[in-house]
Amino acid sequence: MSNKKSKLIIGISSRALFNLDESHEIYEKQGLKSYQDYQIENEDNTLAPGEAFNLVEKILKINDLYESSDRVEVILLSRNTSDTGLRIRNSIEDHNLNISRAAFCGGESPHRYVKDFGVHLFLSSSIEDVKLAIESNVAAATIIPRSAENHKESKSDLLKIAFDGDAVIFSDDSEKIYHEKGLEAFIENEANAETNLKEGPFKSFLVELNKIQNDFEINECPIRTALVTARSAPSDKRVIKTLREWGVRIDESLFLGGMSKSQFLDSFDADIFFDDQKKHIMGAIDNTTSGHVPYGIKNE
């Protein structure tokens, strides 16, 4: 399939796209019937943006740069019924988001339709749904909620995406060695390894992003990527060689040698950051929308 014909497809849950905290609380405390009544009564009240709203807005704007406006698609994948989902559909229209396809799954997990829609990245507030999507070999992350005062608008029109390395872009093989035998064994393994790193759950999504990046000159590209990893020399070499072998471009690579990632993500002005370790997510969350990737040794 040529770059011209391929399409980047993002699947998103309603709670990642919109702020449904109030209605979710009603569901938790008063049950399904009260939740349904509440959504139907309020279906003309537009929902406020959720954690991943700005990301979706920026992703959809990429279509403006193409003659045919379907290079990128966002699909709503919701546990709501179509009846309770009407408020979400109305809110999509009110916010002028070009989202036309949807699956309303009536309480069941929408993960089973992720493959059918050809989704490259699935964002949800449900860790169960995210785990099921990863098991289906689709890049997926749990969007972690933040308090309202921590929301800041990005200063850039560029879509900026930051990734951890091991257990996100790459497999967790090296992380297992670190986990089981310590830092020295990890460094020795990396220094002597003659093979490239194996792919992790986000490799295929990164490849799709790269196809869009390759449609533009570097200084005109609407997407900028960063690798933000605890690795440092000499374990950085294997990462560089692996990405080169894959033919994948990462715009910025930060090898932090165990330093906190939070400030660096803020300086990069990331729209979203993906990491397999909760501690890195919780460190970054004050400034950056973050997606937890429940994959690998650290999540067993």
Lowest mean pLDDT among 34-48, 101-115, 150-164, 192-206: 150-164
Structural domain includes residue 153:
no
Q: What is the pLDDT of residue 2?
A: 38
Is residue 231 located within the same domain as residue 278? yes
Confidence of residue 155 (pLDDT cuts 50, 70, 90): confident
Give Cβ neighbours of residue 79 (< 8 Å, ≥ 6 apart): 13, 14, 105, 106, 107, 108, 109, 110, 126, 129
Mind telling me the catalytic residues? Answer: 164
Which of 299, 297, 294 shows the shortest CA–CA distance to 186? 297
% pLDDT > 70, the chain: 96
pLDDT (0 to 100) of residue 193? 84
72 plus 98 within the same structural domain: yes
How many other CB atoms are found less than 10 A from the CB of residue 246? 16
Residue 3 lies inside a defined structural domain of this protein? no
pLDDT range class, residue 89, cuts 50, 70, 90: very high
Indicate if the pLDDT at residue 161 is higher than 60: yes
Q: Which domain holds residue 24?
A: 8-143
Same domain, 138 and 255: no
Tell me whether residue 241 is exposed, middle or buried, using C-beta atoms within 10 angstroms of its C-beta: 0 to 12, 13 to 18, 19 or more: middle
The string of pLDDT tens digits covering residues 179-206 is 899 888 888 888 888 899 999 999 999 9
| Mean model confidence pLDDT for the chain | 91
Lowest mean pLDDT among 228-237, 247-256, 262-271: 228-237
HSE, CB side, 13 Å, CA atoms: give it for residue 269.
10
Residues 108 and 218 in one domain: no
Which of 114, 143, 172 delimits the end of a domain? 143
pLDDT band at 150 (very low <50, low <70, confident <90, very high): low
Residue 100 zone, left/alpha/beta (φ > 0; ψ -120 to 50; rest): alpha
190 and 88 inside one domain = no
Mean pLDDT of 69-84: 92
Both 203 and 288 in a single domain?
yes
> Which residues contact residue 194 at a Cβ distance below 8 angstroms, ignoring those fewer than 6 apart?
none
Residue 209 lies in a domain: yes
In total, how many domains does the chain have? 2
pLDDT of residue 224: 97
Residue 94 predicted with pLDDT over 70: yes
